[in-house]
Structure 1
Amino acid sequence: MKSINEVAAKAGISEEHLELYGKYKAKLNPSLLEELSGRPDGKLVLVTAVNPTPAGEGKTLTTIGLVQSLNAIGHSAVAALREPSLGPCFGMKGGAAGGGKAQILPAEEINLHFTGDFHAITSANNLLSAVIDNHIYHGNELGLDPARIVWKRAVDMNDRGLRQIVTGLGQGNGPVRESGFLITSASEVMAVLCLSEDMQDLKRRLGRILVGYDMQGRPVTADKLNAVEAMAVLLKEAVKPNLVQTSEGTPVLVHGGPFANIAHGCSSVIATRTALKLGDIVVTEAGFGAELGAEKFFDIKCRQSGLKPSAAVLVVTAKALKYNGGTAKDQLEAENLQSLRNGLGNLRRHIRNLQQFGVPVLVAVNHFPTDTSAEIDIIRMECEALGVPAEVSRVFELGSEGGRELAQKLVELLEKETADFRPLYVSSLDLKGKIETIVKQLYGGAAVSYSPASSRALAQMEKLGFGSLPVCMAKTPYSFSDQADLLGAPEGFTVNVSGVSLSAGAGFVVVETGNTMRMPGLPKVPAAERMKLGADGTIAGLI
């Protein structure tokens, strides 16, 4: 690894703007963005994917490899990525810092406590919870209705036992009430930090957070509890982007970590704006399939910030297409090819969906050793028939050398085609109209069914003046529908909205579908069981 000072110098960042966290990590002071304000922005490229298998399809890997390859062919490219959550690190997926010869480093530190951002966000979230309960205990001047408090506590771990809890048990501990925990990645404080332009904007957003309703049904916000400044104190360092490097020494900004299936799925606006001043091409990623992460990147992050993406890279793997085509592990190659062909509908729909946002699309085929030339040829031919460029990426095994052709294809696309970016829906559309537009135009569904409680909540949000907000769909990442086993490119299904909640500070409405929950659980055999700490301090099983 290079020293972080050397990485910063390569990106044109002077030491005065660095706040060092050891030899290999640093935070970037707001003074950097102020200094670079007159510099033109680079081109913004989003990396997204088809609907994944449970193991994921390599969006972070592809982002890291692509930015390495862009630098290798002469561009000053910078990556902007999300921070990993401890939940999936110790749950199903393990670490989230890339792999092979396309990693961000120091990977173990990034996957674990990094620079403390997640802990600061968790603490700010839970400080607000403590302030709410303390306010009620000491007289409840605001008249908060304990039965209508919507704010929940957070922890950065998959822990299904905390989804529903009862607080206040025992003498002198305040009113007994039902509550619960979210995973930190789904906390509104995470979304607020990621969508804020600066500390002042972050404070404004924190103040707008809805904590509950009073006895007359009127909304009560965090600013009325005088909690904002203390929350900002906890977030003072977390609001600053983190600078690290790839395995080839390429600069990477890693900041914020909302999930895309239950949150808005994008790294911070501040980090993205900073990266755009540092590189001529900025490669960022959004979680899970394009109907989740990419839609939220376009309809929430870009809408709120005014960012204009220049292109999208759609990651596809042969195994994901076979998964979406209904394959079994023990099928013969010919049957695998048929399953892959059956899964091409998923690829086609994602390409069409991305084109609806007015951005040119490049398909990156993330290569695995088990892929056959016949499988790769089928994917290439399908993309050729759709008029979309495609290239195989071997960045895991070869680093920048394995992504040169992909990087060159991206440069050619950026030079040849001009994006005409547009969100999927207009802000003036009502909340149900926005939900139904996403379901019908992106997912391929026919209708939306609302639980009585969600219908009432949406009507109340409209009445309170929040109807112009975008919606953040919480659903399974494995299907276009809200049913995880409805794979491929299904049509004519109904999406069931089970609940909605207002994130007034972040500036969107969360729409829960099917049985999605904002606190995941661990799988039967979690990744934590594979991890070991050696006598010399080395960690095995995390990456």
Structure 2
Amino acid sequence: MITSELKDFTYTFGEIDKIDAIGFLSRVKQSPEQFKQGKVVLVTASTPLKASRGEGKTTTTIALIDALRRRGVDAAAVLRQPSMGITAAGSKGGASGGGKSTLSHPEIADWGLTGEMARIADAQNLLVAFCEKAVDDGILSDILIPRVSETPSRSLRSVRVDGGKLAERFVLTPASEMMQIVTLSRSVEEIAERVGNMIAGTAPETGAPVQVKDFVDVERIIRVIGNAVQPAYMESGEGSPVYIHCGPFGNVSLGIPGLTAVDMACALHDVVVVEAGYGADAGGQKWLDIASREFGAQWPAAAVVVTRATTWRDDPQLQWRYPFAVNRLEELGIASFPMINLWEGEDGEVPQLRQTAAELGFRNPIAGNLWRDGGEGLVAQLDEFIDVVNNADGSIRPDSNLSRDFMDTVTWICEKAYGVPSDRVIEKDGFAQILSEEKQRAEQVGIDFDSLAVLPVKSPATMTDNDAAPESERTVTLKKVEVHAGAGLVHVNVTTSLTTPMPKIV
């Protein structure tokens, strides 16, 4: 189903197609009137009760585009590449849908696709190898770029090399700065500039930060990244178009697919369904506050907020999280449709769930057992959704007048995304010192610290320090700050989370 507009930019890699999206977008830029201006629909979710159990966002995304195309809407999906360590290992689904709502060849997507994840890991690990040589050459005294691994391994949580003389650390490939750079960049030149801006380590005598471009031929890294810059084209089981690009996790990284893939899909289709990782407080928040506000991605015309029926109801202390997610999006002017992903035996609960949704002031929920019924189960429920998307005129834009002060932005995110006001945002002992050091490091390489986009690193299973606490007692603790100068981000660690390879496959 590759469209004729893409033929010159597509080649077959193994059993799937790869697309030179960057080259294609240069054609779009030259003659924009010849292409579509598709509208983005965001698929996000409630924060799950357990981080290891997905709510069904990818299954919903695939079912939704299949249903829309059955209704005559030119719809496509843009997904992230699954990670070998968590999703493809089978502990929370393969991130390629399931049942009748899946890709035509899910095993290809789940087990490496065309190797983008490995290419990105190789590129960052090669950088670390250059840094190790720079230590020997007296250019660096330490290394600030971590090695990466896609596969969880407890032994990688604490590593010393070179006979124990040099400490190194590992992060998961989906959490790496190289992954963020490829995800956000819209040209090879931009990738090269960003890689060069990464902070490699500190100088031996002065302790000043040293950037990659100061001692590395960045072109060598670009060659290793190779075709990871190119989205993969696949199809759903019903033949609907699906573009897959990049794979950052939503809690410890961006949680969004590559922006080149989204831009390309918007030039080719009327509706582009983008799945953001984990919940509305994670990948959903980052699509809005980073991809849209900071990097010019489309503001969603509508959103679909997925939940399992059990996640929504079963724990009275956590019931507040799903209404909070839906209402927050509605307050931003994004028409948000509750999507109840039914499991076997739950069909009879739909009337009660619809009544509860009405009492909460939600739009009429879309509900179905998408594993069993696929897009067919949604076709008759999409009238209001299609009307909203068709009538979205793009007049609503993200607020561009946010304060550029880092702490103001952090407390704003805590209030808007997690429901915790600024007076209950707590700084862990030592946080102020780490913040001061990272600000100084950014300034020393000529970067305005406050201009960096703020990326929260958090638990995938909780929005606050304790979601079960009463609303008036919920807090968020700020723990650590880390500049990703190449990606243009500053991480702030809140609640709990691991960016290192995990101690077990959850």
Q: Please say whether Structure 1 and Structure 2 have the same fold, judged by a TM-score greater than 0.5.
A: yes
Mark the CA change 1:178 to 1:356 in structure 2 (over 3 Å): closer, same or farther. farther
> Equivalences for 1:115-134 in 2 at 5 Å?
115-134=114-133
> Equivalences for 1:111-510 in 2 at 5 Å?
111-137=110-136, 139-140=137-138, 142=139, 144-146=140-142, 149-169=143-163, 176-214=165-203, 215-308=205-298, 309-325=300-316, 343=319, 345-374=320-349, 376-383=351-358, 385-416=360-391, 418=393, 421-423=396-398, 426=401, 428-446=403-421, 447-463=424-440, 464=443, 465-483=448-466, 486-487=467-468, 490-510=471-491
CA contact (8 A) 2:338 2:362 kept: no
Determine the C-alpha separation between the residues in 2 that align with 1:435 and 1:212. 26
CA contact (8 A) 1:43 1:282 kept: yes
Gaps of 5+ in 2: none
Tell me how far 1:51 sits from its aligned partner. 1.0
Tell me how far 1:21 sits from its aligned partner. 1.4
CA contact (8 A) 2:248 2:255 kept: yes
Determine the C-alpha separation between the residues in 1 that align with 2:487 and 2:124. 13
Question: 111-120 or 389-398: which moved more?
Answer: 389-398
SS in 1 for 2:171: strand
Tell me how far 1:522 sits from its aligned partner. 5.2
Mark the CA change 1:521 to 1:407 in structure 2 (over 3 Å): closer, same or farther. same
CA contact (8 A) 2:45 2:305 kept: yes
1:326-348 per-position Cα deviation (integer Å, ceiling 9, x unaligned) = 6xxxxxxxxxxxxxxx72x2222
Mark the CA change 1:376 to 1:120 in structure 2 (over 3 Å): closer, same or farther. farther
CA contact (8 A) 1:312 1:362 kept: yes
Determine the C-alpha separation between the residues in 1 that align with 2:274 and 2:68. 13
Who is 2:77 aligned against? Answer: 79
Q: Give the share of equivalent positions with the same residue, in percent.
A: 28
SS in 1 for 2:410: helix
Determine the C-alpha separation between the residues in 1 that align with 2:400 and 2:262. 23
> Equivalences for 1:505-524 in 2 at 5 Å?
505-521=486-502, 523=504
Tell me how far 1:415 sits from its aligned partner. 3.2
Q: Structure 2: which amino acid aligns with 1:404?
A: V
Q: Structure 2: which amino acid aligns with 1:261?
A: N
Tell me how far 1:489 sits from its aligned partner. 7.8
Who is 1:61 aligned against? Answer: 59
Tell me how far 1:515 sits from its aligned partner. 3.2
Determine the C-alpha separation between the residues in 2 that align with 1:260 and 1:518. 11
1:49 to 35, 45, 49: 45
Determine the C-alpha separation between the residues in 1 that align with 2:156 and 2:471. 34
Determine the C-alpha separation between the residues in 1 that align with 2:212 and 2:54. 37
Aligned residues: 489
Determine the C-alpha separation between the residues in 2 that align with 1:453 and 1:380. 48
CA contact (8 A) 1:469 1:508 kept: yes
SS in 1 for 2:404: coil
Mark the CA change 1:301 to 1:369 in structure 2 (over 3 Å): closer, same or farther. same
Tell me how far 1:417 sits from its aligned partner. 5.0
CA contact (8 A) 1:359 1:419 kept: no
Note the aligned Cα RMSD (angstroms). Answer: 2.3
Who is 1:34 aligned against? Answer: 26
Determine the C-alpha separation between the residues in 2 that align with 1:440 and 1:90. 35
Q: Structure 1: which amino acid aligns with 2:13?
A: Y
Who is 1:539 aligned against? Answer: none
Mark the CA change 1:392 to 1:375 in structure 2 (over 3 Å): closer, same or farther. closer
SS in 1 for 2:103: strand
CA contact (8 A) 1:434 1:470 kept: no
Tell me how far 1:380 sits from its aligned partner. 4.6
Gaps of 5+ in 1: 1-6, 171-175, 327-341, 528-543
SS in 2 for 1:386: coil
Mark the CA change 1:513 to 1:462 in structure 2 (over 3 Å): closer, same or farther. same
Q: Structure 2: which amino acid aligns with 1:498?
A: K
